[in-house]
């Protein structure tokens, strides 16, 4: 509760995704996305149990260096 975090996903030209939590790389997945299709940003929260989960999103920043 009342905890702030920064999440980032960086996708390189091969489609590999690096996932960051509070500025530190935590996981990398090769071939995470197809480089020939445009991507759409999405934020979601998933409830796997009976308790309600709430997240507030302060802002989202997206940009694309690819020529897609």
Q: What is the pLDDT of residue 48?
A: 79
**Vertex 49 angle, CA 57 and 56, to 5°:** 10
pLDDT band at 55 (very low <50, low <70, confident <90, very high): confident
Mean pLDDT of 48-54: 77
pTM: 0.74
Structure tokens at 53: 């989960």
Find the angle CA(68)-CA(26)-CA(36) to the nearest 5 degrees. 15
Please say if the pLDDT value at position 9 is more than 60. Answer: yes
* pLDDT of 1 over the 70 cut: no
| C-alpha distance from residue 57 to each of 5, 7, 14 (Å) | 10, 11, 29
Tell me the pairing of strands 17-21 and 24-29: antiparallel
pLDDT the model gives residue 62: 86
Q: In whole angstroms, what is the distance from residue 53 CA to residue 57 CA?
A: 13
Tell me the pLDDT of the chain averaged across its residues: 86
């Amino acid at each position: 509760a009342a905890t702030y975090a920064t999440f980032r996903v960086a996708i390189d030209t091969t489609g590999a995704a690096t996932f960051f939590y509070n500025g530190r790389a935590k996981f990398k997945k090769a071939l995470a996305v197809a480089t020939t299709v445009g991507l759409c940003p999405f934020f979601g929260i998933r409830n796997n149990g009976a308790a309600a989960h709430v997240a507030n999103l302060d802002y989202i920043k997206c940009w694309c260096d690819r020529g897609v």
